[in-house]
């Protein structure tokens, strides 16, 4: 039976997730954290990039939901999630391939990172997510690929400062994702049908989080030192590295970042979060209050 245009359009719309759209704003991060002026041309190119990535990742998420539909029935974080039918998933993926092909042929918005993301997703979806710790590496890579896609669109080099900071940050969040799944579903051993983790893995996951925090914070400290002593760590920099920032402002912003991250760590470690970590961060009013308070303090202190 052939799907009607209205039915296909509806299926495409329901695959979209609000948290997915916010994740794709990472495409803007290389530009915003560089010393390049934000031009209208770069803004529109990256906006189109967000739309493209949102279409692609939404179909990928729908495909993942379909392949996980049996285990999601017993996953308390996803038990109420609706999945599309097999024929719809096949049609959406066929549409995605045509969509990417049209981008390659007719636009300058295509680059190899779109293919890297798609290949990485399929390896994760059909194989890697079943492998202990390997799945976390893949989850982290999805965010980094978004950033590389954005930087490639506007021909902007990414520095090692940037990579070290965000790889360690998203490694932490990827581990949070698994820890929340463990706690919410009360996974006492690995003989469960949801993920290849259990409460017994908590100590190891906590150690990885602490190591990632050390790398993350140490990267920021080195960057702040580089601001006060330029050309100290040039091997970590790129030509577009932003060095004219106020150390005082960045230090206050870093305190806000540390406060929010430490709070999240405490909540996850004590099993207080009962939903996906990204949804929690988007909805948590306390984080917004803390961030706005620190920014206001920094603004009035500097001015």
Which residue, of 96, 125, 156, is where some domain finishes? 156
| Statement: residue 243 has pLDDT above 80 | no
Residues 110 and 7 in one domain: yes
Do residue 130 and residue 248 come from a single domain?
no
Average pLDDT over residues 150-155: 95
* One domain for residues 201 and 117: no
Where is the domain boundary, 156, 171, 196?
Answer: 156
Please tell me whether residues 203 and 98 are part of one structural domain: no
Model pLDDT for residues 137-149, shown as the tens digit of each residue? 999 999 999 999 9
Give pLDDT, residue 302.
Answer: 55
CATH number where 60 lies: 1.10.357.140
pLDDT band at 79 (very low <50, low <70, confident <90, very high): low
Give the Cβ contact number of residue 47 at 10 Å: 13
SS3 per residue for 245-290: CCHHHHHHHHHHHHHHHHHHHHHHHCCCCCCCHHHHHHHCHHHHHH
C-alpha–C-alpha distance, residues 275 and 185, integer Å: 11
Both 114 and 161 in one domain: the answer is: no
Comparing 231 with 119, the larger pLDDT belongs to 119
87 lies in the same domain as 129: yes
Q: State whether the Cα torsion 293-294-300-303 is positive or negative.
A: negative
Mean of the per-residue pLDDT values of the chain: 86
Torsion angles phi and psi, residue 220, rounded to 5 = -65, -45
Pair 65, 46 in one domain: yes
Q: Are residues 176 and 148 in the same domain?
A: no
Domain termination residue (choose one: 100, 130, 156): 156
Can you tell me the distance from the alpha carbon of 21 to that of 10, in angstroms, rounded to the nearest whole number? Answer: 18
Q: What is the pLDDT of residue 38?
A: 84
On whether the CB atoms of residues 187 and 199 are closer than 8 A, the answer is yes
Q: How many domains does the chain have?
A: 2
Shared domain check, 99 and 27? yes
Residue 206's Cβ-count burial label (10 Å; 0-12, 13-18, 19+) is: middle
The separation between CA 172 and the C-alpha centre of its own chain, rounded to angstroms, equals: 11
What is the reported pTM?
A: 0.88
Instruction: For residue 168, give its domain range.
Output: 157-303
Mean pLDDT, rounded, for 96-106: 96
Are 79 and 108 contained in the same domain?
Answer: yes
202-222 tens-digit pLDDT: 999 999 999 999 999 999 888
Residue 1's pLDDT band (boundaries 50, 70, 90)? very low
The share of the chain scoring above pLDDT 70, in percent, equals: 88
d(CA 57, CA 123): 14
Res. 80 pLDDT band, cuts 50 70 90: low
Does 19 share its domain with 166?
A: no
Same domain, 82 and 33: yes
């Amino acid at each position: 039976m052939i799907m009607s245009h209205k039915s296909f359009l509806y299926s495409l719309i329901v695959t979209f997730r609000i948290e997915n759209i916010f994740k794709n704003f990472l495409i803007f991060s290389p530009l915003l954290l560089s010393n390049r002026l934000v031009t209208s041309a770069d803004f529109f190119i990256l906006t189109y990039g967000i739309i493209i990535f949102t279409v692609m990742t939404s179909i990928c998420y729908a495909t993942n939901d379909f392949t996980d539909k049996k285990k999601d029935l017993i996953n308390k974080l996803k038990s109420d999630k609706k999945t599309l039918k097999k024929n719809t998933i096949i049609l959406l993926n066929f549409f995605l391939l045509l969509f990417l092909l049209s981008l390659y042929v007719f636009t300058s918005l295509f680059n190899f990172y779109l293919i890297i993301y798609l290949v990485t997703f399929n390896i994760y979806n059909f194989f890697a997510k079943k492998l202990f710790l390997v799945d976390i590496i893949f989850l982290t890579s999805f965010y980094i690929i978004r950033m590389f896609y954005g930087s490639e669109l506007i021909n902007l080099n990414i520095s090692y400062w940037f990579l070290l900071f965000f790889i360690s940050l998203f490694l932490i969040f990827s581990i949070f994702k698994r820890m929340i799944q463990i706690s919410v579903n009360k996974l006492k051993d690995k003989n469960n049908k949801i993920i290849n983790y259990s409460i017994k893995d908590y100590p190891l996951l906590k150690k990885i989080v602490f190591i990632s925090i050390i790398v993350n914070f140490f990267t920021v400290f080195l960057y702040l030192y580089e601001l006060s002593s330029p050309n100290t760590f040039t091997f970590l920099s790129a030509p577009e590295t932003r060095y004219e920032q106020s150390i005082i402002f960045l230090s206050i912003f870093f305190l806000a970042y540390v406060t929010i991250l430490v709070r999240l760590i405490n909540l996850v470690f004590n099993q207080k979060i009962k939903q996906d970590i990204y949804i929690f961060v988007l909805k948590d009013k306390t984080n917004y209050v803390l961030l706005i308070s620190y920014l206001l303090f920094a603004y009035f202190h500097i001015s």
